[in-house]
Chain A
Amino acid sequence: MTNQKHQFDASPVVVEDLAPALRLSLRVKPAHRETLGRALGLDLPTRVGSRAAANGAEALCLGPDEWLIVAPEGTDLASPARAAYADAPHSLVDISDREITLRLSGPAVLDLLAACCPRNIAAMPVGAAARTVFDSATVILWRDGPTDFRMDVWRSFAPHVRSLLTQVRTEIAAGL
Chain B
Amino acid sequence: MSRYRISGKGRVDHSAPVSFTFDGKTYRGLRGDTVASALLANGVHLMGRSFKYHRPRGAVSAGSEEPNALIGTSRGKGQFEPNTRATVQELRDGLVTESQNKWPHLSFDIGAVNDRAYMLFSAGFYYKTFMWPKSFWDKIYEPVIRGAAGLGKSPTEVDPDRYASRYLHTDVLVIGAGAAGIAAALSAAQSGADVTLVDENAEMGGSLLSDPAVQIDGKPAWDWVEAQLARLRAAGVRLMTRTTAIGYYHQNMVGLCQRLTDHLDNPPANAPRERMWRVRAEQVVLAQGALEKPLVFDGNDRPGVMLAGAAQTYLHKYGVKVGDTPAVVTSHDSAYFAAFDLADSGARVAAIIDTRDAVRPDLLEGARKRGIQVLSGHTVTTTKGRLRVKSVRANPVRGTHVGAGRDIACDCLLMSGGWTPSLHLFSHTKGSLGWDAGSNTFLPDRKTEACEIAGAGRGLWGYEAVLADGAAAGLRALEGLNRAGHSAAFTVANDRPGTGVTHTELPTDGNPGKAKAFIDFQNDVTAKDIRLAVREGMRSIEHVKRYTTNGMATDQGKMSNINGLMIAADALGKQPPQVGLTTFRPPYTPTSFGAFCGYLRGDTFQLTRKTPIDPWAEANGAVFEPVAQWRRAWYFPKAGEDMHAAVLRECKATRASLGIFDASTLGKIEVAGPDAVEFMNRMYTNPWTKLQPGRCRYGLLLGEDGFIRDDGVIGRLSPDLFHVTTTTGGAARVLTMMEDYLQTEWPDLDVWLTSTTEQWATVALNGPNALKMLKPLVEGVDWDDFPHMSCAECTVAGLPARLFRLSFTGEVGFEVNVPARHGLTLWTALMEAGKPYDICPYGTETMHVLRAEKGYIIVGQDTDGTVTPQDAGLDWAIGKAKKDFVGKRSLSRPDIVAKGRKQLVGLLTEDGSLLQEGAQIVLDPNQPKPMKMVGHVTSSYQSTMGHPIAMAVIEGGFDKMGETVFIPMPDGVRKARITSTVFYDPDNARLKA
Contact = CB atoms under 8 A, between A and B. Distances in A.
**B: contact size bracket:** 35 or more
Contacts of B819: 96-97
Contacts of B674: 89
Contact of A160 (B261, B604, B756): B604
A175 B260 CA distance: 11
A93 B756 contact: yes
A159 B610 contact: yes
Contact of A115 (B280, B599, B820, B821): B599
A168 B165 CA distance: 9
B612 A164 contact: no
Contact of B268 (A95, A123, A168, A174): A174
B271 A174 contact: yes
Contacts of A38: none
A159 B674 CA distance: 38
Contact of A20 (B604, B611, B672, B821): B821
B337 interface: no
B592 interface: no
Interface in B629-645: 630
A143 B215 CA distance: 49
A20 B166 CA distance: 30
Given A116-B599, A176-B260, A137 B607 contact: yes
Given A95-B756, A159-B610, A123 B169 contact: yes
Nearest to B665: A156
B162 interface: yes
A157 B609 contact: yes
A24 to B, nearest CB: 10
Interface string B264-277: 00011111100000
Indicate the member of B607, B630, B674, B757 with the most A CB atoms within 10 Å. Answer: B607
A10 B77 CA distance: 30
A123 B282 CA distance: 14
B168 interface: yes
A94 B672 CA distance: 12
Contacts of A123: 169
A137 B609 CA distance: 10
A54 interface: no
Given A120-B280, A155-B758, A176-B261, A170 B270 contact: yes
Given A114-B168, A136-B607, A160-B604, A171 B162 contact: yes
Interface in A115-158: 115-120, 122-123, 135-137, 154-157
Contact of A175 (B169, B271, B759, B821): B271
Contacts of B278: 118
B670 A91 contact: yes
B603 A97 contact: no
B169 A122 contact: yes
Given A155-B612, A174-B272, A120 B169 contact: yes
B752 A156 contact: no
A123 B751 CA distance: 35
A173 interface: yes
B599 A135 contact: yes
B329 interface: no
B821 A116 contact: no
B613 to A, nearest CB: 11
Contacts of A96: 759, 819
Contact of B759 (A95, A118, A122, A136): A95
B759 A94 contact: yes
B152 interface: no
A167 B268 contact: no
A91 B169 contact: no
Contacts of B261: 176
Contacts of A157: 607, 609
A174 B758 contact: no
A75 to B, nearest CB: 16
A103 interface: no
Nearest to A25: B754
B672 A91 contact: yes
B57 to A, nearest CB: 34
Interface string B100-142: 0000000000000000000000000000000000000000000
The 8 closest A-B pairs by CB, nearest first: A27-B752, A91-B752, A156-B609, A91-B672, A120-B169, A174-B271, A97-B820, A97-B819
11 contacts: A25-B754, A27-B672, A65-B752, A89-B673, A114-B166, A116-B165, A135-B607, A156-B630, A157-B609, A164-B599, A171-B272
Given A97-B819, A160-B604, 4 more contacts: A96-B819, A98-B757, A115-B599, A174-B268
Interface of A: 20, 25, 27, 29, 65, 89-99, 111, 114-120, 122-123, 135-137, 154-157, 159-160, 163-164, 167-168, 170-171, 173-176
